[in-house]
Structure 1
Amino acid sequence: MSTLKVGLVGWGAIGRIVGTALAGQDVQGAELTCIVDNRPLGEAAPAPQVTFEEAIERCDLIVEAAGQGVVREWGEHVLSSGTDLLVASTGALTDDELAKRLLAAGPGRVYFTGGAVGGLDLLQAVRALGPIEDVRLTTTKLPSTLEQPWMDEELLGRMRSATGPVVVMSGTARDVPVKFPKSTNVAASVALAVGDLDAVRVEVVADPGATLTRHVIEASGEHGSYRFEVAHRPDPGNPATSQVVPYSVLRSVAALAGRSGQIL
């Protein structure tokens, strides 16, 4: 089997861990070929820094670790060029039109990683039996990681002065990831598993005592009821994401490389 040539987009908290592991050959059957980032990487980068176009030409797989905007701007072009795309920022897929275009594009294939949440494979299996009627996701994070430019002073004041949990937003998996583009990709991942953005009710909670980032998924339907809860340490370099996310990306790359799930 030939080696999977991987281009990494983004050299931030997620990208550095993913890129370092790939460059160290921790994922059998995959190699880091190049890195795309709009900031100078310096001599310490483990692979050449290239333009997006060059990465598409050189690679079999582009790994997005740079945010929803990259998926919107480049996703179709990557796929139409015949290169596969692994999306970490699943929140971009709350845009129905973009999701339809990506799924229809080719000959490259688009893949999504589960990121910071589990149980998605079970929800997909249950969905095959029939509709999942009630799906709820509650995400709890530190207030500082949830502050957004659109928030008014009243909400910001409540978050900053909170001594306990504060509900920041309630909505659907269609609404919430747009408002929190770096913090709520889990909502989109759950919706992709369930197959309906509007069926997933999401509550975002700011809690000054949230030393761990917590996601609770509750789902029920004709065929059963399900509850998944995860609590992760935030990434010290980027508290808006969980430490586990880059390792989820690496497991996805390993699966695409056709190897076992053992990575590190």
Structure 2
Amino acid sequence: MNTVSTVRKVGIVGWGAIGRTVGTALADGRVEGAELVCVVDNRPLGDAAPAPQVPLEEALELCDLIVEAAGQGVVREWGERVLASGTDLLVASSGAMTDEELAKRLLATGPGRVYFTGGAVGGLDLLQAARSLGPLDDVRLTTTKLPSTLEQPWMDEELLTRMRTATGPVEVMTGTAREIPAKFPRSTNVAASVALAVGDLDTVRVRVVADPAAHHTRHVIEASGAHGAYRFEVAHLPDPGNPATSQVVPYAVLRGLAALAGRTGQIL
């Protein structure tokens, strides 16, 4: 790895809805202590990115921090290689961490360090604090999105028809935070984030709802244990370029970057 600098040298993997917003903010100097050095993407970007497009191997030579903004597959394929090179990794697609074997390998690999963002949901810090008092024995997440953003190749025709012709909310699937992110790899990172905060994939019960009137993506978290009860609800506008992602997600990544760059005066 690359020499440590007072300025974090950042490479972004993925120049989609998340990567473009994060990369543009970095290039404009809006994150004190961090600069965009390069972009990694499997599509030719030409002049679309404000930094050179390079292969991953070159990015690991140039950067001390890689931001994953391209989906769970990138975390699985490249995560250990990034960390083994001594480069830190900031993961936006936290759903990858529901693969417990992968999570163990990433946490054990170094000298690079792996970090995660909360993405489209709040209250995770409070859930982590509450968990220190004792287990949260009932944790429920209900995620409601537009039907088109939830369609998956594994769905049968009956379910697809119900979703496409719905005039009101339709329950698409229920399961644990271990099961749901694998079924909806681009739409349910929130389930993984909640499970990481709670510390147990199987405790978190997830309900995925398709609603043609869902102009906002909505997440409702309800948690309780012997020491208290908690309820959080968020409603975000979807990203216009990628409705499966909430518009706020890249800004959560930018907040994480600012914290890693050592900007002072933040709530942690």
Same fold (TM over 0.5): yes
TM-score by length of 1: 0.98
The runs of 5 or more residues in structure 2 that have no matched partner are none
Q: Indicate conservation of the 8 Å contact 1:136/1:202, yes or no.
A: yes
Instruction: Give yes or no for the alignment of 1:187 onto 2:191.
Output: yes
Rounded Cα–Cα distance in structure 2 between residues aligned with 1:42 and 1:57: 22
Residue type at the aligned position of 1:90: S
Which of structure 1's runs of 4+ aligned residues deviate more than 2 A? Answer: none
Instruction: Give yes or no for the alignment of 1:218 onto 2:222.
Output: yes
Say which SS state the counterpart of residue 205 (structure 1) adopts.
strand
Deviations 1:49-89 (A, max 9, x none): 00011111110100000000000001011111100000000
Rounded Cα–Cα distance in structure 2 between residues aligned with 1:154 and 1:104: 43
Residue type at the aligned position of 1:118: G
- Correspondences of 1:230-249 after superposition (within 5 Å): 230-249=234-253
Say which SS state the counterpart of residue 215 (structure 1) adopts.
strand
Q: CA deviation at 1:45?
A: 1.4
The runs of 5 or more residues in structure 1 that have no matched partner are none
Say which SS state the counterpart of residue 244 (structure 2) adopts.
strand
Instruction: Give yes or no for the alignment of 1:37 onto 2:65.
Output: no
Rounded Cα–Cα distance in structure 2 between residues aligned with 1:167 and 1:177: 16
Say which SS state the counterpart of residue 243 (structure 2) adopts.
strand
Rounded Cα–Cα distance in structure 2 between residues aligned with 1:148 and 1:228: 27
Q: CA deviation at 1:261?
A: 6.2
Q: CA deviation at 1:38?
A: 0.3
Q: Indicate conservation of the 8 Å contact 1:136/1:219, yes or no.
A: yes
- Correspondences of 1:55-94 after superposition (within 5 Å): 55-94=59-98
TM-score by length of 2: 0.97
Q: Indicate conservation of the 8 Å contact 1:255/1:261, yes or no.
A: no
Q: CA deviation at 1:44?
A: 3.1
Q: Indicate conservation of the 8 Å contact 1:251/1:261, yes or no.
A: no
Q: CA deviation at 1:260?
A: 3.4
Rounded Cα–Cα distance in structure 2 between residues aligned with 1:48 and 1:94: 33
Taking a change above 3 Å as real, the CA distance of residues 148 and 261 of structure 1, as seen in their structure-2 partners, is: farther
Rounded Cα–Cα distance in structure 1 between residues aligned with 2:208 and 2:92: 20
Q: CA deviation at 1:172?
A: 0.2
Q: How many residue pairs are counted as aligned between the two chains?
A: 262
**Residue 10 of structure 1 corresponds to which residue in structure 2?**
14
Residue type at the aligned position of 1:129: L
Say which SS state the counterpart of residue 47 (structure 2) adopts.
coil
Instruction: Give yes or no for the alignment of 1:252 onto 2:256.
Output: yes
Aligned match for 2:100, one of 96, 107, 125? 96
